[in-house]
Copies of this chain bind each other. A is one copy, B any other.
Amino acid sequence: MINRLVKEIQKKNAPIVVGLDPTMKFIPGYIKENAFSVYGETLQGAGEAIWQFNKGIVDAVYDLIPAVKPQIAMYEQFGIEGMIAYKKTVDYCKSKGLVVIGDIKRGDIGSTSAAYAVGHIGKVSVGSSVFAPFDEDFVTVNPYLGTDGVKPFIDVCAEEKKGIFVLVKTSNPSSGEFQDRPIADADNRPLYEIVGQKVDEWGKSCMGEKYSYVGAVVGATYPEMGKVLRDIMPNSLILVPGYGAQGGKGADLVHFFKADGSGAIVNSSRGIIAAYQSEKYKERFSEKEYADAARAAVIEMKEDIAGALGITE
């Protein structure tokens, strides 16, 4: 799957992933009204509104991008009905040829991490039958529990040819509270570098053609750290959140890529899916044109990143 992702990035000339993180306030009123008219103002109604909203976005942008990243929390907040909308979204995106990165940030110990791994990127047995319950292509994983917590995901990756992105340096303002602390028995290098080294080590055991099945998450908001981590993890594709609404700019992104223009994939969520609400696009696009606005925002993002990387189409 890492080989496919790398190829799709190249083919579409777009190291871009669209974050499908729908919140009720991003969804146009008419979509909510339609959903509520059938299901009422219920969790099922919310799930239907999310699903219809996502479908519109995906239909409008799928030909431009290699991958999507649904953030499961935005679905899980609506309980079972939200999870059904998540699963529908995963399946639909795959049917449109998109690589799906489930942003689930799971991580536990031993057999518990194994349960998350089989549920999301692997297969689970029931009697003599076998199922792939959520069936994303990649998931994000939290490393706080150490190798025990990550290894079960890697085992499933190796078996299923799927992948993970391990949180190394997250994009939020307080990510440094623990991640940046200097580690005394490692020349005072920050914890995120130690985690990055582990990612590199874990990744070596399951290499694809050019990149490993084990990628890393490094926030666009910390470009200097991105530069260091790019060197520490030469085999890992870096998933870069924090572009756009969180403050990361195209020019900041150059450090996350290698000289050949590969090595990273940049996520934007709000900046794409809620583009029609932004200062920049709200004059040009009505609520009903939210998907067209998303397409315009993807094209602009593509140009911004290509410009920063000095790529011409």
Contacts and interface: CB of A to CB of B under 8 A. Distances in A.
Interface of A: 21, 23-24, 32, 36, 40-43, 45-46, 71, 73-74, 76-80, 82-84, 87, 105-113, 115-116, 118-120, 124-129, 131, 133-134, 142-149, 167, 170-179, 181-186, 188, 191, 194-195, 198
Contacts of A40: 129
Given A80-B80, A119-B76, A46 B126 contact: yes
Contacts of A112: 21, 71, 73-74
**How many protomers of this protein does the assembly include?**
2
Contacts of A110: 172
Nearest to A178: B146
Contact of A113 (B73, B113, B177, B178): B73
B142 A78 contact: no
Contacts of A182: 183-185
Contact of A24 (B71, B125, B178, B195): B125
A50 B79 CA distance: 19
B148 A79 contact: no
A119 B78 contact: yes
Nearest to A145: B170
A122 to B, nearest CB: 9
A23 B40 CA distance: 36
Nearest to A123: B77
Contact of A129 (B23, B42, B145): B42
Contacts of A80: 80, 83-84, 87, 133
Nearest to A181: B183
The 10 closest A-B pairs by CB, nearest first: A79-B133, A41-B127, A146-B177, A77-B119, A146-B174, A109-B172, A182-B184, A73-B115, A77-B115, A184-B184
Given A23-B115, A109-B175, A147-B174, 20 more contacts: A32-B127, A41-B128, A43-B131, A45-B126, A46-B126, A73-B112, A76-B133, A78-B126, A79-B134, A80-B80, A82-B119, A109-B170, A110-B172, A142-B144, A143-B144, A145-B167, A145-B175, A177-B198, A181-B186, A183-B184
A85 to B, nearest CB: 10
A127 B36 contact: yes
Given A71-B112, A126-B43, A181 B174 contact: no
A73 B182 CA distance: 33
Given A109-B170, A184-B183, A82 B42 contact: no
